[in-house]
A = this chain, B = another copy of it.
Amino acid sequence: MNKSIIVLIATIAFFSCSTAQKTLEKSTTGTSDIKKSMIKALEWQEAHPIFAIAPTDWTEGAYYTGVTRAHKATKDMMYMAALKNQAYWNNWQTFDRLHHADDVAISYSYLYIDINDGRRNFVDLEPTKKFLDAHLFENDEWKAGADKSDMGKTILWWWCDALFMAPPVLNLYAKHTNQPKYLEEMHKFYMETYNQLYDKEERLFARDMRFVWTGSDKDQKEPNGKKIFWSRGNGWVIAGLALLLEDMPKDYENRPFYENLFKEMSTRILELQPSDGLWRTSLLCPETYDHGEVSGSGFYTFAIAWGINNGLVDKKHIPAVKKAWNALAKCQHEDGRVGWVQNIGAFPEPATADSWQNFGTGAFLMAGSEVIQLLD
């Protein structure tokens, strides 16, 4: 075959490559690519509304918290349009169990809109205030400590996910309305959870009391004999810590506690990062479900990148963050869907390329929003 024919054919093949898209290896290092991935994730998620029990529940709360971060990082008004749209149709309501941290997570987005949209008489923070006051100051079954189950529902925030759901809202509400008492109360309950669920040796949170070892033969173990530390559960905590630290007064007396906890966990999470960049759903027993999981990994990527951007994590970890983001980006389908998200749960379970959830998209957006700033 004639050489010039080969060249010509090669040329045709090259130009026909716009074809590509589907198969072209995505370059994810530039912020422009990250922004495109994020917008596609938003568009897909908005086109596929999902919730557990209501559009004001924690799944939407976590998702729209991700949308606030994406807006903050990019100023793309598509994010603000989505935020306002959900808030309007949700009529600025929390979900309805006032003792349950999950049900106020959505208020983080309402606060963000109030602070950033700048339209008078638009945001209604009354339902949020009503929730927070009842949540902090009214009695309930959990605070009463009457629970006899093995989950340890004897404190307000008895499961570690709660540290993402309520504390950042309380902290931001305190700042926005200039009422430090909400922060102070937050700290009180935070310490209860920390004391109950934080494993100082492993520097990780048990999801709830079922996973805290007591020395009994009945203690739950992974197949490899280790403790069960759930990736997303710790993701909730460390992402929540980054959110907290961002809006916590620099001179707040308990700020060092949160900074130290954040640093401790960041270091540990970095130690545990698998070589392909994405954390497994069980942190100490990665071999059980040996594939990256996006919700936990997204929260870790967000938190660590935030730590670097804010001087709490060493810049030497930038490559780890880039590796994580590149791996996260590969979990996104061509149409924007963020896959490899473990479904709603409370302990390690597997995900698939197709498994998705709004909070997984939220974690993805949170990760991207800080990685952009890391690269800028």
Contacts and interface: CB of A to CB of B under 8 A. Distances in A.
A12 B15 contact: no
A5 to B, nearest CB: 5
A81 B9 CA distance: 46
Contact of A5 (B1, B47, B49, B50): B1
B9 A10 contact: no
Given A9-B8, A47-B47, A53 B122 contact: yes
A122 B51 CA distance: 12
Interface string A45-67: 01111111111000000000000
Interface string A15-53: 111111111100000000000000000010011111111
A85 to B, nearest CB: 5
B16 A51 contact: no
A371 to B, nearest CB: 21
A78 interface: yes
A88 interface: yes
Contacts of A51: 81, 84-85, 88
Q: What's the dominant secondary structure at chain A's contact region? A: helix
Copies of the protein in its oligomer: 3
Given A17-B20, A47-B43, A50-B85, A1 B9 contact: no
Contacts of A149: none
Given A19-B19, A20-B20, A21-B20, A47 B46 contact: yes
A1 B8 CA distance: 10
A9 B9 CA distance: 7
Nearest to A122: B53
Contacts of A13: 12-13, 15-16
A316 interface: no
Contacts of A18: 19-23
A78 B8 CA distance: 41
B19 A81 contact: no
A49 B1 contact: no
A81 B12 CA distance: 41
A195 to B, nearest CB: 31
Q: Which 6 A-B pairs have the closest CB atoms?
A: A16-B16, A50-B81, A13-B16, A20-B20, A17-B19, A12-B13
A275 interface: no
Nearest to A50: B81
A54 B88 contact: yes
5 contacts: A1-B2, A5-B5, A14-B16, A16-B19, A18-B19
Nearest to A16: B16
A250 interface: no
Contacts of A20: 17-21
A4 interface: yes
A248 B22 CA distance: 46
Contacts of A10: 12
A54 B81 CA distance: 11
Nearest to A15: B19
